[in-house]
Amino acid sequence: MGSPAPSASLHGKRILLGVTGSIAAYKSAVLARELQRRGATVRVVMTPGAIDFITPLTLATLTDHPVYSDFTENKDSGEWTNHVELGLWGDVFLVAPATANTLSAFVQGSCDNFLQAVHLSSRCPICVAPAMDLDMFAHGATQSNLARLAERGVGIIEPESGLLASGLEGKGRMLEPEAIADWLELWFHDRAPLKGQKILLTAGPTQEPIDSVRFIGNHSSGKMGYALATALVQHGAEVHLISGPVQLKVPAGVASVTNVQTAQEMMAAASENFNTYDIAIATAAVADARPKHSAAAKLHRNELPSAIALEPTPDILAHWGQQKAAHQTVIGFALETDDGVASAMGKLKRKNLDFIVLNSTAVKGAGFGTDTNQISIFDSDGKAHKFELKSKTEVAHDIVQHLLNHLTT
């Protein structure tokens, strides 16, 4: 399996997939694949009962990692599998399918097999997708077990009604792998660290008209800003994008998009209800100046002026910095053609920013139009954080992580 799509919704998530002895265990192969397709890394733990339904070899091949089902790896040498480490590894322990037996063991705190030991030692949240016959599911014991697990904070992925392996029809059928992955996405989203944060983000270039067909512009592709919008959405933020003209698809989950052309239009959109946002991020490459006069129609060759007089455009970032209230965070970007540190530091102070992200076209693979970038982040106290050259998706996740650290300190 190749590397996950950059916009994958479970990007970077570590999912410990528990498989138990239900007929629905055959679906866990598709589930593992679907979780990986959405960007997650998957490790599999099976009960001995599950091995009767699907082979560890199938799941090990699909996840490109050994499957764990036994306390010992080699009985002769006494080598054992560290269930505690596995329990600490995952961002979530997803047990799908979860049998009536395993649900009961979880309630009791039993430790009769390796999967149950992982359950007891896991510090990450647990989600279970029950799968069983309708009468087993409806049984008072199962229902009371599920209620007790829910009380403990275990996520319950309710089964659906339909035709069951027994030939009976009713509630007990495990959700299809794609629906479980959707459920998990929402679950992560609800617990996401930027949930409830309203973010205003500018991206792309601006174009300042000379006449009705010509403009002064720049080479910004908007890729960094759009990658950041994606990462912010994945961390649960409500993202409002103000975009200059770009050839990019609006990232899924963005709450609103305002398309603008000029710096003046971007300023108008960026200052509207600014005080209602928690965070404002300026990744756009806004023109610093515009033609003083722009013709309403196309100027013909013989009408073109020999010089174009310029006037400054409004400074969006300085405006945000001035208006910033105590609860707000303002982040700027600086693109320089040299190492740019002095210039970025000056901008950080002058514009009252919380931190600034510096990238330089002097670094090969960084800056306009590329799919990679190399950034440094400077905090308002002058502290510098330098990052390697990475894909813009990874850079976006570094910036989000820096933002999270900033918000919690």
Ligand X SMILES: Cc1cc2nc3c(=O)[nH]c(=O)nc-3n(C[C@H](O)[C@H](O)[C@H](O)COP(=O)(O)O)c2cc1C
Query: Where does this chain touch ligand X (CB under 6 A) — which range of 21-29, 176-184, 234-242, 260-268?
Result: 21-29
Instruction: Write the binding mask 375 to 404 for ligand X: x where contact by CB under 6 A, - elsewhere.
Output: ------------------------------
161 or 256: CB nearest ligand X: 161
Task: Name which of 335, 332, 205 is nearest 262 in CA terms.
Answer: 205
Smallest gap, in angstroms, from Cβ of residue 23 to ligand X? 4
Looking at residue 178, its amino acid is E
Smallest gap, in angstroms, from Cβ of residue 49 to ligand X? 3
Q: 88, 123 in Cβ contact below 8 A?
A: yes
110 or 121: CB nearest ligand X: 110
Handedness of CA 95, 99, 105, 110 (dihedral sign): negative
Smallest gap, in angstroms, from Cβ of residue 141 to ligand X? 11
Q: What are the CA-CA distances from residue 320 to residues 201, 222, 272, 323, 409 (Å)? A: 12, 20, 11, 5, 22
Considering 82, 101, 218, 352, which one is annotated as catalytic?
218
Task: Name which of 146, 142, 173, 169 is nearest 160 in CA terms.
Answer: 173
The helix/strand/coil state of 44 is strand
Q: What are the CA-CA distances from residue 208 to residues 99, 216, 311, 332 (Å)? A: 64, 5, 11, 21
Hey, what are 279's tokens?
A: 């965070």
108 or 276: CB nearest ligand X: 108
Query: Where does this chain touch ligand X (CB under 6 A) — which range of 45-53, 76-84, 118-126, 391-399?
Result: 45-53
β-strand partners of 80: 72
- Provide the CA 72 distance to its chain's centre, in angstroms: 36
To the query of whether residue 218 is one of the catalytic residues in this protein, the response is yes
The helix/strand/coil state of 93 is strand
The H-or-E segment that residue 310 falls in is: strand 310-312
22 or 393: CB nearest ligand X: 22
Query: Where does this chain touch ligand X (CB under 6 A) — which range of 46-54, 83-91, 255-263, 344-352?
Result: 46-54
Q: 44, 63 in Cβ contact below 8 A?
A: yes
* 24 sits near ligand X (criterion: CB under 6 A): yes
Among 9, 22, 221, 313, binds ligand X (CB under 6 A): 22
Question: Under rule CB under 6 A, which residues in 93-152 are in contact with ligand X?
Answer: 99-102, 113, 131-132, 136
Among 8, 15, 29, 50, binds ligand X (CB under 6 A): 50
Among 9, 28, 41, 47, binds ligand X (CB under 6 A): 47
Q: Which residues are catalytic?
A: 218
Site for ligand X, rule CB under 6 A: 20-24, 47, 49-50, 99-102, 113, 131-132, 136
